[in-house]
Structure 1
């Protein structure tokens, strides 16, 4: 008699991984700046003030989400194409790091992690695709931490 134990898989679904990352970076940043307008006496119309920041975060972060989903959704159905998508999205996460304030690198990174096999129901990849998936996940996590703690701290200290 053989007994087979199946390990419980604890991975996020692709929707939660990518959507949650977008919410915890781009949307949270927007909410923090709306709070700055509502609860401080800072000039919202100052050059690099809250309104300008909200506009740029929404634009760049939104474009990042659209591009990430336009690449990831069609490629996720085929493991070979997903491998290429993980590399492309992981590279985009790295290349867009200068605009980290927008949340776009985190969204690209989460999408790379999805296609690289780190999300529930995705095909595990190997080689460079796996490396870019892990790098993308690290970027997403670091950016979430930076947005939550850095954004919140900057709002409390001003």
Structure 2
């Protein structure tokens, strides 16, 4: 019995892996921090309240940067081998699901984008099959929804 090979052609359309993962980080974590800084600069609310802008900036920064570091630390060693990348896509896709309650930090978007990368859904990659592809697609959808949730939350805070 021979080992299964990935004979799918490389993806020619879409975003590159660094753009996808970096974009997820910027559009979720960095934008949310910028919104909190804007709240400090342009509103009269006390930023030092227990759940005010200062504590929000601290928690968003810590969780967002830690999520990016964990995602990259998992993805970089696994991306060289398709069989290991499959496992990484499943693990990171599961992490994107588990971290949904922390959407404000950008963690689900970061883990989801990295799962999509390892699943071969980025430009120049060979798409995985089976569970890895499913978790990559789920991760990609969670990344998009995470970015939308951050923008919606920031917009509602500004308008409300």
TM-score by length of 2: 0.90
Choose which of 125, 130, 133 in structure 1 pairs with 2:128: 125
Counterpart-to-counterpart distance in 2, 1:152 and 1:77: 40
- Give runs of ≥4 in structure 1 deviating > 3 Å: none
Q: Residue in 2 aligned with 1:21?
A: 24
The answer to whether the 8 A contact 2:119-2:133 is kept is yes
Residue 154 of structure 2 is aligned to residue 151 of structure 1: yes
The answer to whether the 8 A contact 2:115-2:136 is kept is yes
Q: Following TM superposition, by how much is the alpha carbon of 1:121 offset from its aligned partner in structure 2, in angstroms? A: 2.1
- The SS at the match of 1:45 is coil
More displaced 10-residue stretch of structure 1: 119-128 or 10-19: 119-128
The answer to whether the 8 A contact 2:78-2:88 is kept is yes
1:44-65 CA-partner distances (Å, limit 9, x unpaired): 0000000000000000011000
1:106-144 CA-partner distances (Å, limit 9, x unpaired): 100000000001111222101100110000000000011
The answer to whether the 8 A contact 1:76-1:122 is kept is no
- The SS at the match of 1:77 is coil
1:68-121 CA-partner distances (Å, limit 9, x unpaired): 000111111111110000000000001111111100111000000000011112
Name structure 2 gaps, 5 residues minimum: 1-10
The size of the alignment, in residue pairs, is 150
TM-score by length of 1: 0.92
Counterpart-to-counterpart distance in 1, 2:97 and 2:152: 21
The answer to whether the 8 A contact 2:109-2:142 is kept is yes
Residue 47 of structure 2 is aligned to residue 44 of structure 1: yes
Name structure 1 gaps, 5 residues minimum: 1-7
Residue 85 of structure 2 is aligned to residue 101 of structure 1: no
Q: Following TM superposition, by how much is the alpha carbon of 1:150 offset from its aligned partner in structure 2, in angstroms? A: 2.6
Counterpart-to-counterpart distance in 1, 2:98 and 2:115: 13
